């Protein structure tokens, strides 16, 4: 007992030492501040104390000893939140031992798969994302019918434990691609999902019988069924990756029947049923650069999707580099380009900013932590040289949990090395 | 797409006022031309699938009060351009508008040459995809110079009109990169056509697709090789040795006509044309060390590489590229998806540009191809960040005159200069802003895309019924 108390005291002491070391007050002054949770503040001030936002407003007193950042003429926003990526679980797409976003599961069901367990906080792609203002992201598993569970993390150095804001934040399922689910048709895929949810219900109410081995065989493993209980209880959203209008409709029926809180990912043809999605309060995670009928399930794909959905009242979060292929994780940093294109194709600028900050934070139950500039939120703040969606704009100051990052990326180091070539050839002047 | 509909209906007499265009079918070939010297000898004029492209009907058009990024000099603010008979007839601070000219006010807008993407797989990897439309890699042998991309192109690929709406007026469609030598490319105008021939850029040289590195060894590693990079290099050299031999035999026979002509070989004909300088080499290659080796191979056999494609490490040998006169067709920010793409840096374009080599913004992607202006803008910012700012006057060249050069077409397209083809794009604003889009696109003076007019938005046959809207 004594030793236990001693240990506890030691931990508290260490923690307070750490807090003292982090005890720093930052005052970002003079900028055009977009809290997202409230109206824009011209010439606003944002105070970060001990890693968290402590004050935001037009007439905020600046604590003595605060480190001042002059943001006059600049734009201040919450750090951007990318709502779906494989950043950290896929370093090099074609190098198999750097890929950790897919579980084998049982019959393509991997509900128990917690993708963040394989997250690599030391990925060299974290710093480029943060450098361009992405301070949080949702890491999602892929593949199969039920791919596994997603987590929301901050882009901070340290361990996965340090990074996690909330885990799990969603269960991920893929509807509309029966082949990848090991099935023959869409209808069969929906039936399979229903069977798993039925089994989850039964498992939930017959745990004792199950433990005595007195239940019928289930379509999924014990751990998978257990992981799905929060989904049928409506506590954990089901994020369904789906494109075709009819498939979205099928997913909505299923969600209604089992009281599942549904979110749609991708949703190429969601705009075709925007009113219904709005009425059912189903949020969408999508991009704004896709317009190719890239398969028979995505014939209606168009860049106006996000804008049309928003106009109809659907809550929308944007995914950085949504149309990206293997380079997706490297280009999470292009979230702001996605937002700019969303504006170009019909979304309001304010909605686009919301779609890369507060909207995903709300979807994933973390609006009390990230996504807006309000007292008590994490000190995830970006000072931009101008309109954050414009290419010529730079993220001049990026704070995550109150710490500013200016570290060199791997790319910066390469450029330093090759900036001045040894001069073995005489280069002609630029043409 | 009124013009296009008229064109299709001309044969039925439905467009009485249409110009006297009667057909897009090929000119019947005179059988006396089919001598041994045509195609068979791999002479420069060999052209067995000739272009049947005819410019679409156009109006004399003046766009005035517009900012012109010419790719041939500094920005002309509030200038004007005259498009007449398919050509740029005048460009400058002001132009005289002929009485019959359609005059468009370009206040606040920008005008650029049509964008040129020298790395496309449109048509050969057509949407909606799937095995039926996967026609880009003849992955049955690592060396397939005998295949021609144009024989895989589906003119009804719905990606074509989307590309045009992105301001792209000329494309080089390449075979894929599974093979060491993948086959001939084809240069297409981004226009509606019932046949590939109707889209082919008249007089454009062919390109030859070659590929370095991981792709060939991955595809053939378990199928007889090559399975290593050294195997790749042996494969290129073996092919060029055969090509040199083939060329010599035909040159000799062409000179003396003694005995039977050598047996034709489709693949070696293509390679011999490369050696004669009539086909331009486009070499997929990521790593600087491999690019340097490909340059040595080119020296060994006496051909030139026109452009390295993807070249994520071009910045490491930018001086060598400049010295060799090889362009770099590269991405703004793709990287890290395979080992050979690991060292991608966003400043690649700015660094290569600063070393004096030609920079080309390429796509290799049907989506990115629609926003090459945005890719250039990202690269400009990356340059500015490291103290190598790139002007808009320079960056527009990356999208237009430089790829025109890579295709050997810089005398016809790629800049706003008198006498050039009237391939022009009117942008809603500065093309390097994320908020700007092409508003109107002309190809050879014909308005083929107008964002403000759904009737001027081309829809492919495939889209009819399947795709429930027009772009806007």
Contact B434 A423 (CB under 8 A): no
The residue ranking higher by pLDDT, A407 or B125, is B125
Q: Which residues of B touch A427 (CB under 8 A)?
A: 318-319, 322-323, 355-357
Per-residue pLDDT band at A180 (split at 50, 70, 90): confident
Counting the structural domains of chain A, the total is 2
**Is residue A45 in a domain?**
yes
Contact A331 B345 (CB under 8 A): no
**Is residue A120 in a domain?**
yes
Tell me, yes or no, if A298 comes closer than 8 A to chain B by beta carbon. yes
High-pLDDT (> 70) share of chain A, % = 93
**pLDDT number for residue A18:** 39
For residue A148, the enclosing domain spans: 80-370
Helices (H), A206-334: 207-211, 222-232, 245-257, 274-279, 305-311
Same domain for A346 and A395, yes or no, is: no
Print the SS3 string covering A358-385: HHHHHHCCCCCCCCCCCCCCECCEEEEC
A71-115 confidence digits (pLDDT tens): 999 999 999 999 999 999 999 999 999 999 999 999 999 999 999
User: Closest residue of A to B132, CA-based?
Assistant: A295
The residue ranking higher by pLDDT, A374 or B24, is A374
Contact B335 A428 (CB under 8 A): no
User: Closest residue of B to A430, CA-based?
Assistant: B356
Burial class (CB in 10 A: 0-12, 13-18, 19+), A154: buried
The predicted model scores a pTM of 0.92
Tell me, yes or no, if A416 comes closer than 8 A to chain B by beta carbon. no
**pLDDT number for residue A12:** 37
Q: Would the pLDDT of A13 be above 60?
A: no
Same domain for A136 and A163, yes or no, is: yes
Phi/psi at B205 (nearest 5 deg)? -70, 160
| DSSP output for A401-419 | TTEE--PPPHHHHHHHHHS
| End-to-end CA, chain A | 77
The residue ranking higher by pLDDT, A273 or B22, is A273
Same domain for A215 and A73, yes or no, is: no
Per-residue pLDDT band at B89 (split at 50, 70, 90): very high
Same domain for A166 and A299, yes or no, is: yes
Average pLDDT over residues A266-287: 97
Could you count the other beta carbons within 10 Å of the beta carbon of residue A2?
A: 6
Same domain for A54 and A65, yes or no, is: yes
Same domain for A119 and A94, yes or no, is: yes
Q: Would the pLDDT of A147 be above 70?
A: yes
Per the CB < 8 A criterion, the answer to whether B282 and B406 are in contact is yes
Average pLDDT over residues B178-193: 98
Give domain limits for chain B: 2-463
**Is residue A34 in a domain?**
yes
Q: Would the pLDDT of B43 be above 70?
A: no
C-alpha B300/C-alpha B308 separation (Å) is 18
Phi/psi at B181 (nearest 5 deg)? -125, 110
**pLDDT number for residue A304:** 96
CATH code, domain carrying A56: 2.30.40.10
Same domain for A395 and A348, yes or no, is: no
Contact B128 A289 (CB under 8 A): no
**pLDDT number for residue B22:** 33
Tell me, yes or no, if B433 comes closer than 8 A to chain A by beta carbon. yes
Same domain for A377 and A300, yes or no, is: no
Average pLDDT over residues B111-139: 98
B215-264 confidence digits (pLDDT tens): 999 999 999 999 999 999 999 999 999 999 999 999 999 999 999 999 99
User: Closest residue of B to A302, CA-based?
Assistant: B471
Per-residue pLDDT band at B65 (split at 50, 70, 90): very high
Burial class (CB in 10 A: 0-12, 13-18, 19+), A119: buried
High-pLDDT (> 90) share of chain B, % = 88
**Is residue A200 in a domain?**
yes
**pLDDT number for residue A327:** 85
Domain end among A354, A370, A386: A370
Contact A92 B342 (CB under 8 A): yes
CA atoms within 13 A on the CB side of A185: 3
**pLDDT number for residue B35:** 38
B98-115 confidence digits (pLDDT tens): 999 999 999 999 999 999
Does ipTM come in above 0.90?
A: yes
CATH code, domain carrying A137: 3.20.20.140
Contact A427 B322 (CB under 8 A): yes
Q: Would the pLDDT of B40 be above 60?
A: no
**pLDDT number for residue B39:** 42
In chain B, positions 340-359, which contact chain A (CB-CB < 8 Å)?
341-347, 351, 353-358
Q: Is B472 helix (H, G, I), strand (E, B) or coil?
A: coil
Q: How high does pLDDT run on average in chain B?
A: 91
Contact B378 A327 (CB under 8 A): no
B264-292 confidence digits (pLDDT tens): 999 999 999 999 999 999 999 999 999 99
User: Closest residue of A to B374, CA-based?
Assistant: A391
User: Closest residue of B to A389, CA-based?
Assistant: B434
Its CATH architecture, for the domain B2-463, is Alpha-Beta Barrel (3.20)
A21-32 confidence digits (pLDDT tens): 455 999 999 999
Average pLDDT over residues B181-187: 98
B415-442 confidence digits (pLDDT tens): 999 999 999 999 999 999 999 999 999 9
**Is residue A222 in a domain?**
yes
């Amino acid at each position: 007992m004594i030793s236990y108390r001693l240990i506890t005291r030691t931990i508290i002491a260490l923690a307070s030492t750490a807090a003292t070391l982090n005890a720093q007050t930052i005052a970002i002054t003079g900028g055009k501040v977009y809290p997202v949770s409230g109206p824009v503040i011209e010439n606003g001030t944002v105070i970060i104390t001990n890693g968290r936002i402590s004050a935001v407003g037009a007439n905020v007193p600046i604590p003595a000893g605060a480190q001042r950042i002059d943001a006059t003429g600049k734009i201040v926003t919450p750090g951007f939140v990318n709502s779906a990526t494989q950043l950290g679980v896929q370093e090099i797409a074609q190098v198999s031992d750097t890929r950790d976003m897919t579980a084998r599961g049982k019959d393509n069901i991997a509900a128990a798969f917690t993708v963040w367990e394989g997250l690599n906080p030391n990925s060299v792609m974290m710093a480029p994302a943060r450098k361009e203002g992405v301070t949080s992201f949702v890491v999602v598993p892929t593949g199969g019918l039920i791919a596994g569970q997603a987590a929301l993390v901050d882009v901070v150095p340290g361990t996965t434990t340090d990074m996690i804001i909330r885990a799990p934040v969603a269960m991920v399922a893929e509807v509309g691609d029966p082949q990848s689910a090991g099935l023959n048709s869409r209808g069969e895929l929906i039936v399979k999902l229903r069977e798993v949810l039925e089994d989850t219900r039964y498992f939930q109410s017959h745990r004792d019988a199950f433990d005595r081995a007195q239940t019928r065989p289930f379509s999924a493993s014990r751990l998978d069924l257990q992981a799905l209980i929060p989904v049928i209880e409506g506590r954990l959203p089901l994020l369904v990756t789906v494109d075709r209008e009819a498939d979205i409709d099928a997913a909505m029926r299923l969600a209604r029947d089992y009281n599942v809180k549904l979110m749609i990912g991708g949703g190429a043809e969601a705009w075709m049923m925007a009113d219904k999605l709005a009425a059912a309060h189903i949020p969408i995670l999508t991009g704004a650069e896709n317009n190719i009928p890239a398969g028979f399930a995505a014939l209606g794909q168009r860049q106006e999707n996000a804008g049309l959905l928003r106009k109809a009242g659907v809550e929308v979060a944007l995914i950085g580099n949504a149309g990206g292929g293997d380079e997706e994780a490297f280009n999470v940093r292009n979230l702001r380009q996605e937002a700019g294109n969303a504006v170009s194709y019909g979304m309001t600028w304010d909605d686009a900013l919301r779609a890369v900050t507060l909207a995903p934070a709300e979807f994933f139950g973390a609006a009390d932590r990230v996504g807006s500039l309000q007292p008590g939120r994490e000190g995830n703040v970006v000072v931009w040289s101008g309109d954050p969606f414009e290419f010529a704009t730079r993220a001049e100051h990026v704070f995550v949990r109150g710490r500013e990052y200016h570290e060199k990326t791997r790319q910066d180091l390469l450029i330093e090395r090759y900036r001045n070539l040894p001069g073995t050839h005489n280069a002609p002047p630029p043409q | 797409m009124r013009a296009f509909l008229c064109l299709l209906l001309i044969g039925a007499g439905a467009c009485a006022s249409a110009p006297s265009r009667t057909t897009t079918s090929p000119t019947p070939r005179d059988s006396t031309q089919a001598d041994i010297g045509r195609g068979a000898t791999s002479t420069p004029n060999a052209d067995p699938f000739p272009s049947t492209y005819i410019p679409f009907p156009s109006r004399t058009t003046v766009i005035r009060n517009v900012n012109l990024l010419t790719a041939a000099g500094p920005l002309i603010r509030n200038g004007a351009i005259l498009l007449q008979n398919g050509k740029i007839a005048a460009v400058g601070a002001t132009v005289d508008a002929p009485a019959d000219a359609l005059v468009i006010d370009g206040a606040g807008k920008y005008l650029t040459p049509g964008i040129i993407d020298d790395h496309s797989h449109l048509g050969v990897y057509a949407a909606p995809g799937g095995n039926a439309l996967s026609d880009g890699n003849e992955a049955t042998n690592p060396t397939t110079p005998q295949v021609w991309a144009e024989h895989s192109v589906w003119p009804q690929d719905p990606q074509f009109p989307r590309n045009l709406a992105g301001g792209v007026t000329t494309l080089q469609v390449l075979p894929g990169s599974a093979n060491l030598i993948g086959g001939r490319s084809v240069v297409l105008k981004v226009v509606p056509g019932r046949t590939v021939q109707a889209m082919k850029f008249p007089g454009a040289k062919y390109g030859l697709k070659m590929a370095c590195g991981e792709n060939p060894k991955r595809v053939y590693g378990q199928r007889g090789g090559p399975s290593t990079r050294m195997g790749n290099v042996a494969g290129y050299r073996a092919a060029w040795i055969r090509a040199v031999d083939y060329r010599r035999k035909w040159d000799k026979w062409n000179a003396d006509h003694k005995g039977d002509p050598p047996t034709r070989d489709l693949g070696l004909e293509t390679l011999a044309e490369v050696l004669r300088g009539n086909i331009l080499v486009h070499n997929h290659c990521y790593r600087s060390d491999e690019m340097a080796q490909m340059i040595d191979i080119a020296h060994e056999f006496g051909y030139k590489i026109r452009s390295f494609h993807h070249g994520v490490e071009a910045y490491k040998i930018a001086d060598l590229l400049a010295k060799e006169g090889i362009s770099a067709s590269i991405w703004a920010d793709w990287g890290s998806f395979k080992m050979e793409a690991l060292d991608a840096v966003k400043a690649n374009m700015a660094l290569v540009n600063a070393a004096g080599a030609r920079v080309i913004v390429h796509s290799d992607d049907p989506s990115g191809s629609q926003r090459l202006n945005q890719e250039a803008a990202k690269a400009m910012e990356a340059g500015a960040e490291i103290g190598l700012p790139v002007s808009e006057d320079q960056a527009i060249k990356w999208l237009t005159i430089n790829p025109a050069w890579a295709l050997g077409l810089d005398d016809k397209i790629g800049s706003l200069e008198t006498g050039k083809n009237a391939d022009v794009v009117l942008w809603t604003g500065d093309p390097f802003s994320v908020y700007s889009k092409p508003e109107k696109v002309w190809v050879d003076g014909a308005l083929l895309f107008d964002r403000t007019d759904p009737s001027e938005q081309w829809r492919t046959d495939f889209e009819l019924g399947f795709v429930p809207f027009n772009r806007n």
